[in-house]
Chain A
Amino acid sequence: MSLLQIVFRSLRQHLLSTLITSFSIALACGLLMSVWVVKEQARRNFTEVDSGFDGVFGAKGSKLQLVHNSIFHLEASPGNLTWEQYELIANDKRRVKTAVPIAVGDNYRGYRIVGVTKSLFEVEYQVGKKFEVQSGGYVFRSDKKQAVVGSFVAERLGMSIGDKFHPYHGLVFDEKEKHAEIYVVSGIMKPTNTPADRVIWIPIKGLQNMSGHSVETSSDVSAVLVKLQGNTHGMMMNQEYNFQGDVMTFAWPIAKIVAQLFNKIAPVEMVLSGVAVLVAFVAAGSILASIYNTMNQRRRDIAIFRALGARRRTVFSVLILEATGIATFGALAGFIVYFVIMSTASWYIRSETGIVLDPFEPQWVMVWAPLFMQCLGALAGVVPAAKAYGADVAENLIPNA
């Protein structure tokens, strides 16, 4: 009978405690992997999402708020720009390749309605990929009350081409704030796995002139998304608008601004990671406790092993391997916990931000976290193994010794 067979039989003999301890290891390992993957993928995906633009112009204020509002469709707009300011930017052909104005302020059942020009659909949001509508639909006509619905919104609200809806005023859904206008869905956007999936796109003029909106600001825009002719222009415009000018804010480059947010919350990430590691140690402690608590029952078994010729190092190895076995089993089950947590987390993050996390994407944490748990498990086995190593054979062969 090999050492592994002996270990397997011991695990089988203490099946209930093996399962309970493995479950705690699985929770710890799954949590550890989830925290790491969410952290890594969220940072990477958020900083990579620029919707194909280099920068954003908006009212004087926070660059981060401007990016959140115009790229991620989160938070309120920091203020408006006039149509003239938009034209000034758009006509700067030497430096600005594309300028897309957007206007926000309405929603439909909690999902934002964003007024935009059709030029949005000419921009590549990723290399080689443009915003497109699914077959059977088309991009709204600028002079019609038509809408292109993001894929996530369509899926969540069950909207399809030809459906009609009333926009609601404000960014938070309130039944009392219904606009009189009726919009018709002209197309459903193909999934992009970007925040654009969570938005209902309508012609910018439609949003600006929505009933109940102020007439004085009816030509204002919330932000202007720009694609530049080159990077050096970004630096020049950053200097020009953010340091010398006092009229507009130029959020550039988008990735760097989002990264600043993650740098700010880095201590929180660290605390989360620390807690996850701590949970792993607690779970390893549960291995120690579960084996140690059964040492009284095991003493006689160990003495019998020794009486049959097993050496001290053999019984030591059996207990170390048993602890490692529990950790290994738990770590493998941890992948199930990981997929459950990640499925929930990615669904929630997608519904709140439009950012898609991929639980199946290979990550180094999926290698080192299970190995880490195995090492901790082996380490946790040292104390009971040492006790087994030092156990007196003759004394423990006697029943109820």
Chain B
Amino acid sequence: MDVSSYLKIGHLKLIIFLLLLGINNLKKSFLSSDGSTQEVINVPSFSMESGQQIALSGISGSGKTTLLNLIAGILQADEGQIKLSGRSMSGTSESVRDRLRAQMVGYIFQTFNLLQGYTCLENVLLGMSFGDSFDKNRAVELLGHVGLTQRLDYYPRQLSSGQQQRVAVARALANSPKLVLADEPTGNLDPENAAESLSLIRQTCKEHRAALLLVSHDKAVLDQFEDVRDLSDINQGGGKVGAE
């Protein structure tokens, strides 16, 4: 084998190593209220590399949340492939998807989705409870990183919206995910908090070497990203009003 062949194999290995998320011919349909089937997602191809940060723009009802739920394995695809770090997230049993999600995916929601009966620390600890690692020190460290060292034992209702989103960010990173999905993460925040929160999400993901796939229809948010893609370019499905 000559040098060029070694280089080709090495290049291929590097691509495989760097490729974090690969989507091929992904389809998802829902039954609409009139009984007909509506194709919401039809993504022929989409990929992300490790550590990459991509913003997906799309109007309401374009299937943004559905796409994130498919990538997270919360929804089962009708057809196609989703590979996360070389492991299939589609066409597998629900428990395998749950396991992969617990190990590899962090999720930040627009409405934070913090458990109201749990303290900040407990919410973050919960984020690492279903994966492989449970480390209270890391949870404390993450909350410290998002500036909530003094609020560890506070309940979500005792925090401002911005602080709640910080807890959600810490929780999303609690399981040391390879990919963080953020669904309109600043949608419930005022502009000042939104900018601060977005910056925190991006910075924290970078520091923890997690890729970030963020969906938003907010131009101010999208403008912060170098890599912005329009969902309508990726998704040939029709989306669905009320899918998000």
A311 contacts chain B at the CB level, 8 A cutoff: yes
User: How many angstroms from the CA of A119 to the CA of B144 in the assembled complex?
Assistant: 88
B195 contacts chain A at the CB level, 8 A cutoff: no
Indicate if the CB atoms of B101 and A309 lie closer than 8 Å: yes
Indicate if the CB atoms of B94 and A301 lie closer than 8 Å: no
A127 contacts chain B at the CB level, 8 A cutoff: no
The answer to whether residues A308 and B126 also contact, given A397-B109, A399-B111 and a CB cut-off of 8 A, is yes
**From A309, which residue of chain B is reached at the shortest CB distance?**
B102
A239, chain B: closest CB distance, angstroms: 76
B75: chain A residues within 8 A (beta carbon) = 394
User: How many angstroms from the CA of A313 to the CA of B98 in the assembled complex?
Assistant: 11
Question: Which chain A residues numbered 67 to 98 have a C-beta less than 8 Å away from chain B?
Answer: none
User: How many angstroms from the CA of A306 to the CA of B105 in the assembled complex?
Assistant: 12
Indicate if the CB atoms of A9 and B117 lie closer than 8 Å: yes
User: How many angstroms from the CA of A314 to the CA of B102 in the assembled complex?
Assistant: 13
Indicate if the CB atoms of A314 and B117 lie closer than 8 Å: no
User: How many angstroms from the CA of A310 to the CA of B74 in the assembled complex?
Assistant: 11
Question: Which chain B residues numbered 87 to 115 have a C-beta less than 8 Å away from chain A?
Answer: 94-95, 98-99, 101-103, 105, 107, 109, 111, 113-115
B51 contacts chain A at the CB level, 8 A cutoff: no
A289 contacts chain B at the CB level, 8 A cutoff: no
Indicate if the CB atoms of B117 and A10 lie closer than 8 Å: yes
The answer to whether residues A308 and B134 also contact, given A1-B125, A1-B129, A394-B75 and a CB cut-off of 8 A, is no
User: How many angstroms from the CA of A306 to the CA of B111 in the assembled complex?
Assistant: 16
Indicate if the CB atoms of A312 and B94 lie closer than 8 Å: yes
User: How many angstroms from the CA of A137 to the CA of B105 in the assembled complex?
Assistant: 87
B69: chain A residues within 8 A (beta carbon) = 393-394
Indicate if the CB atoms of A397 and B113 lie closer than 8 Å: yes
B122 contacts chain A at the CB level, 8 A cutoff: yes
B101: chain A residues within 8 A (beta carbon) = 307-309
Indicate if the CB atoms of B74 and A308 lie closer than 8 Å: no
B102: chain A residues within 8 A (beta carbon) = 308-310
State which size class the interface on A falls in. 20 to 34
User: How many angstroms from the CA of A300 to the CA of B103 in the assembled complex?
Assistant: 22
User: How many angstroms from the CA of A300 to the CA of B99 in the assembled complex?
Assistant: 20
B131 contacts chain A at the CB level, 8 A cutoff: yes
User: How many angstroms from the CA of A304 to the CA of B107 in the assembled complex?
Assistant: 10
User: How many angstroms from the CA of A301 to the CA of B117 in the assembled complex?
Assistant: 9
User: How many angstroms from the CA of A259 to the CA of B116 in the assembled complex?
Assistant: 60
A6 contacts chain B at the CB level, 8 A cutoff: yes
Indicate if the CB atoms of A307 and B113 lie closer than 8 Å: yes
Task: Map CB proximity to A onto B173-200 as digits: 1 under 8 Å, 0 otherwise.
Answer: 0010000000000000000000000000
A13 contacts chain B at the CB level, 8 A cutoff: yes
For the A-B complex, the count of residue pairs with Cβ-Cβ distances under 8 Å equals 78
B217, chain A: closest CB distance, angstroms: 16
The answer to whether residues A307 and B126 also contact, given A9-B117, A312-B94, A397-B109 and a CB cut-off of 8 A, is no
A12 contacts chain B at the CB level, 8 A cutoff: yes
User: How many angstroms from the CA of A300 to the CA of B134 in the assembled complex?
Assistant: 23
A11, chain B: closest CB distance, angstroms: 10
A399: chain B residues within 8 A (beta carbon) = 111
B127 contacts chain A at the CB level, 8 A cutoff: yes
Question: Which chain B residues numbered 123 to 174 have a C-beta less than 8 Å away from chain A?
Answer: 125-131, 134, 171
User: How many angstroms from the CA of A97 to the CA of B127 in the assembled complex?
Assistant: 83
User: How many angstroms from the CA of A313 to the CA of B102 in the assembled complex?
Assistant: 15
A14: chain B residues within 8 A (beta carbon) = 117
Indicate if the CB atoms of B115 and A304 lie closer than 8 Å: yes
Among B99, B116, B130, which residue has its beta carbon within 8 angstroms of that of A308? B130
Indicate if the CB atoms of B129 and A308 lie closer than 8 Å: yes
Indicate if the CB atoms of A309 and B131 lie closer than 8 Å: yes
**From A303, which residue of chain B is reached at the shortest CB distance?**
B113
B131, chain A: closest CB distance, angstroms: 6
Indicate if the CB atoms of B103 and A309 lie closer than 8 Å: yes
User: How many angstroms from the CA of A136 to the CA of B114 in the assembled complex?
Assistant: 76
Among B72, B131, B134, which residue has its beta carbon within 8 angstroms of that of A307? B72
Task: Map CB proximity to B onto A1-29 as digits: 1 under 8 Å, 0 otherwise.
Answer: 11000100110111000000000000000
A2: chain B residues within 8 A (beta carbon) = 129
Interface centre among A9, A301, A304 (most CB of B within 10 A): A304
B111: chain A residues within 8 A (beta carbon) = 399
A35, chain B: closest CB distance, angstroms: 37
B5, chain A: closest CB distance, angstroms: 41
Among B66, B114, B116, B130, which residue has its beta carbon within 8 angstroms of that of A309? B130
Indicate if the CB atoms of A307 and B115 lie closer than 8 Å: no
B46, chain A: closest CB distance, angstroms: 20
Indicate if the CB atoms of B115 and A1 lie closer than 8 Å: no
Indicate if the CB atoms of A309 and B175 lie closer than 8 Å: yes
- Listed from nearest, the 9 A-B pairs whose CB atoms lie closest are A309-B102, A13-B117, A309-B130, A1-B129, A311-B98, A309-B101, A1-B125, A304-B113, A394-B69
Q: List 24 A-B contacts (CB under 8 A).
A: A1-B126, A2-B129, A9-B118, A9-B122, A10-B117, A14-B117, A301-B115, A301-B116, A305-B126, A305-B130, A307-B74, A307-B101, A307-B109, A309-B99, A309-B103, A310-B130, A311-B95, A313-B95, A314-B130, A394-B66, A394-B69, A394-B74, A397-B74, A397-B113
Q: A10-B117, A394-B69 are in contact. List 5 more A-B contacts (CB 8 A).
A: A1-B128, A301-B117, A304-B115, A310-B98, A311-B94
